[in-house]
Amino acid sequence: TADHLFRNFNAESDFYHNIIQSDRDVTAVTAACLMISSEKFRQAGGFDEKFRNHYEDLDLCLRLFKAGYSNVYAGTVKLVHHESKTRGKYYDYTDRILLLDRWESLIQAGDPFSNENFLPDRCDFALGAGRLLK
């Protein structure tokens, strides 16, 4: 459904035209490093409490995107995020089902900010040969 792009990549890597260090529009960012004005946060309805442990950040970003706002990845910001330290290893598929039900059409349409030549279900930028042969 969603994952952290560039997970386990070297932050100084010049991979794919320095994409890791480049500021750019994205569909969503992680709440582990999310800045938003309180006005926009309230306008978007904040984090939906129906999400128990996952995807509330993605849902918020998708609502902002749908409302015409930009979600921006700041490539020069340094962050160490200790994944799952607060929630542990617990994973609730209810959150995933809620996200997919709510945003199915947008998810099926594909990420408008990703290169169509990369496999959409991978975070390692693996090429999909079928897409290259169009």
Spatial contact of 105 and 112, defined as CB atoms under 8 Å apart: no
How many other CB atoms are found less than 10 A from the CB of residue 117? 14
pTM score: 0.81
Q: 126 φ, ψ to 5°?
A: -70, 140
Residue 52 to residue 5: CA distance in whole angstroms:
22
Could you tell me if 44 and 64 are in contact, meaning their C-beta atoms sit under 8 angstroms apart?
Answer: yes
At residue 1 the predicted structure's pLDDT band, cuts being 50, 70 and 90, is low
Tokens, residue 72? 């921006």
**Residue pLDDT, tens place only, 92-112:** 789 999 999 999 999 888 888
Please tell me the distance from the alpha carbon of residue 29 to that of residue 23, in angstroms, as a whole number. 12
